[in-house]
């Protein structure tokens, strides 16, 4: 019966596989190294006011910290209640595919500047075709060398392009990381409770133990200590568990023996 249940569920599990991005997702802001010991990832919606609020301090981090020890990666996570957010994110993929992924920073800043122009209330009576044309106009203004053919290759206004697929894959990737809103932050792949209102100095204070770890509290050393503790504690738990199991078996055998003696008396 169990095997039948597994066979029934298995096809649905396979269908739920998150698509694997063809390249590592996200955009590096600045020139941070992939081997930097501090890897900060932020998930943003370019039409989210809180994402816009968080960006200036993050940019200051990029400008002031060494690329060898700090890298900032930005991932797009268009929220469904910002009605034009997916189209703007798709435009990001279209532009970066045509002109290079280093263009994302410039595009993000351009959208932040014009964020109010793509709000729900402003665009509610425009129709998707007109909104796509408006996004195109901003793209041409920001990148005069972007051709109409390059734009049309990724942006139709109704999906169905490879860039549309790329945007969907990036969104699903964010979901697989537990992202549910914007901005959300991961520090060295671990979620942190950072505030979008943090200033550059707030970030520096928070990141200081990772950017300049004292020799006696080196994160790698702390990690080793944590691993040792993690090994020791389960060992104690296992021993305690064995004692409990043996005790339960002994009690059960005792009651069984008493029950059998009582049963024989009744006979």
Going by C-beta distance under 8 Å and a sequence separation of 6 or more, which residues neighbour residue 92?
46, 76, 104, 107, 108, 167
Token pair belonging to 200: 């550059």
Mean pLDDT of 67-74: 98
Can you tell me which residue has the tokens 């596989």?
Answer: 17
pLDDT of residue 152: 97
255 or 201: which leads in pLDDT: 201
Residue 178 Ramachandran class (φ > 0 left, ψ -120 to 50 alpha, else beta): left
Tokens of 22: 């063809």
Give the model's pLDDT for residue 254: 45
User: From edge to edge, which strands make up the β-sheet containing 38-44?
Assistant: 27-29, 70-76, 38-44, 184-187, 190-192
Using 50, 70 and 90 to split pLDDT, how confident is the model at 216? Answer: low
SS3 264: helix
pLDDT tops 50 at residue 249: no
The pLDDT, as a whole number, for residue 22 is 86
Tens-place pLDDT, residues 90-129 = 999 999 999 999 999 999 999 999 999 999 999 999 999 9
pLDDT of residue 207: 98
C-alpha 148/C-alpha 146 separation (Å) is 7
Cβ atoms of 90 and 131 within 8 Å: the answer is no
| pLDDT tens profile 232-246 | 334 434 444 443 333
Residue 123: alpha-carbon gap to chain centroid: 28
In terms of CATH architecture, what is 27-210?
3-Layer(aba) Sandwich (3.40)
- Binned at pLDDT 50, 70 and 90, residue 157 comes out as confident
User: With 80 as the cut, is the pLDDT of residue 9 above it?
Assistant: no
The confidence score (pLDDT) of residue 117 equals 98
This prediction's pTM: 0.76
Are 136 and 94 in contact, with CB atoms under 8 Å apart?
no
pLDDT at 150 over 70: yes
Can you give the residue ranges of every domain in the chain? 27-210
């Amino acid at each position: 019966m169990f095997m039948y249940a597994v066979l029934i569920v298995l096809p649905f599990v396979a269908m739920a596989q998150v698509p694997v991005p063809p390249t590592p997702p996200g955009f590096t802001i600045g020139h941070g190294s992939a081997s930097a010991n501090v890897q900060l990832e932020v998930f943003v919606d370019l039409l989210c006011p809180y994402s816009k609020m968080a960006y200036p301090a993050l940019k200051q981090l990029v400008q002031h910290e060494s690329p060898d020890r700090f890298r900032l990666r930005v991932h797009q996570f268009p929220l469904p209640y910002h009605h034009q957010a997916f189209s703007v994110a798709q435009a990001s993929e279209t532009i970066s595919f045509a002109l290079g992924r280093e263009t994302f920073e410039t595009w993000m800043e351009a959208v932040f500047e014009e964020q109010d122009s793509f709000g729900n209330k402003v665009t509610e009576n425009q129709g998707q075709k007109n909104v796509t044309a408006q996004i195109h106009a901003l793209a041409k203004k920001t990148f005069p060398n972007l051709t109409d053919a390059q734009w049309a290759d990724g942006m139709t206004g109704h999906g169905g392009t490879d860039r549309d697929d790329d945007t969907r894959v990036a969104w699903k990737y964010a979901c697989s990381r537990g992202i549910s809103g914007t901005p959300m932050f991961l520090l060295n792949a671990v979620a942190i409770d950072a505030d979008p209102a943090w200033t550059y100095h707030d970030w520096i204070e928070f990141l200081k133990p990772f950017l300049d770890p004292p020799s006696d509290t080196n994160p790698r050393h702390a990690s080793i200590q944590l691993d040792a503790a993690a090994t020791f504690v389960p060992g104690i738990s296992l021993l305690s568990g064995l004692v409990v199991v043996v005790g339960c078996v002994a009690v059960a055998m005792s009651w069984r023996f008493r029950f059998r003696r009582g049963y024989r008396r009744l006979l």
